[in-house]
Chains A and B, each alone.
Chain A
Amino acid sequence: MNKVITINLNGNAYQVEERGYQLLCEYLDGAEAQLKDNPDRAEIISDLEQAIADKCRSFLGPQKTIVATSEIEQIIHAMGPVDSEGGEAGTSSQTQSSSSQSDRKSDSGGNSKSGADIPKRLYRIREGKQIEGVCTGLAAYFGIDVTIVRLIFVAVAIASGGIGVGVYFILVVVVPYAETSEQHAAAFGMPFNAQDFINQAKEHYSEFKKDGEDWKQRAKEKQHEWQRSWRRSMRRRRSWWGPPPVPPPLVGATLPIFGVLIGLLTLIWIFAVISVINTHAIFGWPLPFRFPVWVAIVILIILLNVVIGPFKYMRDAQYAHPYGAVVAVWASIAWMAFLVFVAWLAYQHAPELQNFIQNLPNVWNEMMNR
């Protein structure tokens, strides 16, 4: 049994086996590398994709909906190596293909050597964002959990008396969204294409092998780790390779409901955190005797994420709809209104907030002294 991946070849959807998909990725990445100085690169790549799509179609029929790996191999062989000069014809293509392959090997070998220090850049990231994707971007950049980044941001924003909020909006203006796959990869400091992943995995493997049998297990784990992160990055690219997730039918109409729900739950959560720090009780319900406050806060964070997770998923699924942009505009307007409302609430409850800020160091000390 083989995993099947749906791919988008120049606007046509095809289902191919996973290994075949990897081969296609390598072929197209290689073509792109060969054509990197060609002004018509994008057009040639889309022509090549179209030609691959035509060949895929010839393998499909009413009873056969998946292109097998062996068929992908045939297709790639028939396509031939991509030649940036636009030149050589005839039987010498065999020698040419082997030479261009060794070229690519040395090429990507060079890449993977520098692969350890792939440049990381700060981007804002849409996936999983709450407001404008600043915190998700920072979390990716520093490689820590987004919830921790948010907590630090909120703490700084409160402690600095609003300067943190200003910093947030400066970051929104200054830091761009990660739009392309390369930018996504740079945001996480990860290698971008399949070839780099495989090379890195291989490199790690050979390093471990040198140190003897004991390391083999670790090398395998490392490879699995790379495969996992590759899959994760593929999931992020899904709008690029293949169809977006099927949008739920009640698009637009349901969005405000989810937005309001998420907002309300977040608000209740903020109140719960404030009340637990100020009064050692959640809405009048006291914590057990000697129960540390910071544990209660951690539990509250987990609870919040568990409860609003499904709503967030529903909301994010709607962005994938053709009218996702319109929906997103509405969502951000709703968020702005929500933020204004929170600011108003904070203003109304100034004494409690001051109390809350004064109590924060105690919670910190309690956690550190354990």
Chain B
Amino acid sequence: MSIDGKLGPIRKGLLEFLILKIISADKVYVADMLKLLSTTEFATQEGTLYPLLSKMRRENLVDYEWRESESGPPRKYYKLTAKGKSQLAELNQYWKLINTTISELGN
């Protein structure tokens, strides 16, 4: 298995975590999220992001509201629900735990 084949699933699993993080900072719409991610190794595309956001909304982690934009039709701005916030807090903690484990093991 190539190295990318191993990293793919890791990125895939973490994308949802990152989306929660981005939304927790500010109400954003999809183009904002893509822009923020575009410079990172988590760069992704609409074709991936919209289905993921709809899944997260079904799980009641995020919600959206329509907002007018100066150019063009109204946009969907996403925000975290209470459940989304608590899940983000859990994921944050778990991430710190993993980090400590990885840096301590084998040293």
Give the B-binding residues of A (Cβ under 8 A).
Answer: 10-12, 31, 35, 38-40, 43-44, 47-48, 50-51, 53-54, 57, 78-93, 95
Bound together, the chains give a CA A61 to CA B33 distance in angstroms of: 26
- A88 contacts B12, C-beta separation under 8 Å: yes
Bound together, the chains give a CA A48 to CA B54 distance in angstroms of: 12
Q: A44-B51, A83-B48 are contacts. A89–B73 as well, Cβ < 8 Å?
A: no
Beta-carbon contacts under 8 Å, B6-30 to A: 7-9, 11-12, 14-15, 30
A35 is contacted by which of B14, B42, B51 (Cβ under 8 Å)?
B51
Bound together, the chains give a CA A40 to CA B52 distance in angstroms of: 11
Bound together, the chains give a CA A84 to CA B37 distance in angstroms of: 20
Q: What is the minimal beta-carbon distance from A58 to any residue of chain B, in angstroms?
A: 10
B46 is contacted by which of A39, A40, A79, A88 (Cβ under 8 Å)?
A79
- B58 contacts A54, C-beta separation under 8 Å: no
Bound together, the chains give a CA A345 to CA B76 distance in angstroms of: 62
The answer to the question of B47 belonging to the interface, with a C-beta cut-off of 8 Å to chain A, is yes
Give the contact-size bracket for chain B.
20 to 34
Give the interface centre of B30, B31, B50, B71 by most chain A CB atoms within 10 Å.
B50
- A80 contacts B54, C-beta separation under 8 Å: no
Give the A-binding residues of B (Cβ under 8 A).
Answer: 4-5, 7-9, 11-12, 14-15, 30-31, 37, 41-58, 71-73, 76
Q: What is the minimal beta-carbon distance from A103 to any residue of chain B, in angstroms?
A: 14
Q: Can you give 6 A-B contacts (C-beta < 8 A)?
A: A35-B51, A57-B72, A79-B46, A80-B44, A86-B49, A88-B48
- B73 contacts A39, C-beta separation under 8 Å: no
Q: A89-B37, A90-B8, A90-B41 are contacts. A47–B47 as well, Cβ < 8 Å?
A: no
- A38 contacts B54, C-beta separation under 8 Å: yes
CB-CB under 8 A from A78, the residues of chain B are: 45-46
- B51 contacts A82, C-beta separation under 8 Å: yes
Q: A39-B58, A51-B30, A54-B31 are contacts. A89–B72 as well, Cβ < 8 Å?
A: no
Known: A40-B58, A83-B52, A86-B55. 12 other contacts (CB 8 A): A35-B51, A40-B51, A40-B57, A57-B72, A79-B47, A80-B48, A82-B50, A87-B48, A88-B11, A89-B48, A92-B4, A93-B44
Bound together, the chains give a CA A54 to CA B14 distance in angstroms of: 28
In the complex, what residue of chain B is closest to A90 when comparing beta carbons?
B11
CB-CB under 8 A from B52, the residues of chain A are: 83, 86-87
- A48 contacts B50, C-beta separation under 8 Å: yes
In the complex, what residue of chain B is closest to A54 when comparing beta carbons?
B72
Bound together, the chains give a CA A38 to CA B58 distance in angstroms of: 11
CB-CB under 8 A from A12, the residues of chain B are: 72-73
Q: A40-B58, A89-B12 are contacts. A50–B51 as well, Cβ < 8 Å?
A: no
Q: A86-B53, A90-B7 are contacts. A51–B46 as well, Cβ < 8 Å?
A: yes
- B48 contacts A86, C-beta separation under 8 Å: yes
Bound together, the chains give a CA A79 to CA B7 distance in angstroms of: 22
- B51 contacts A84, C-beta separation under 8 Å: yes
Q: What is the minimal beta-carbon distance from B51 to any residue of chain A, in angstroms?
A: 4
Q: What is the minimal beta-carbon distance from B33 to any residue of chain A, in angstroms?
A: 11
In the complex, what residue of chain A is closest to B48 when comparing beta carbons?
A83
A44 is contacted by which of B15, B37, B54 (Cβ under 8 Å)?
B54
Bound together, the chains give a CA A95 to CA B1 distance in angstroms of: 14
- B58 contacts A87, C-beta separation under 8 Å: no
Give the interface centre of B15, B43, B48, B52 by most chain A CB atoms within 10 Å.
B48
Q: A12-B73, A39-B58 are contacts. A89–B42 as well, Cβ < 8 Å?
A: yes
- A80 contacts B76, C-beta separation under 8 Å: no
CB-CB under 8 A from A50, the residues of chain B are: 73
CB-CB under 8 A from B41, the residues of chain A are: 90-91
Bound together, the chains give a CA A87 to CA B46 distance in angstroms of: 11
CB-CB under 8 A from A31, the residues of chain B are: 47
In the complex, what residue of chain A is closest to B30 when comparing beta carbons?
A51
Bound together, the chains give a CA A261 to CA B13 distance in angstroms of: 68
Give the interface centre of B12, B47, B48, B76 by most chain A CB atoms within 10 Å.
B47
Bound together, the chains give a CA A271 to CA B37 distance in angstroms of: 76
In the complex, what residue of chain B is closest to A57 when comparing beta carbons?
B72
Q: What is the minimal beta-carbon distance from A78 to any residue of chain B, in angstroms?
A: 7
Bound together, the chains give a CA A274 to CA B58 distance in angstroms of: 67
- A89 contacts B43, C-beta separation under 8 Å: yes
Q: A12-B73, A91-B4 are contacts. A85–B51 as well, Cβ < 8 Å?
A: yes
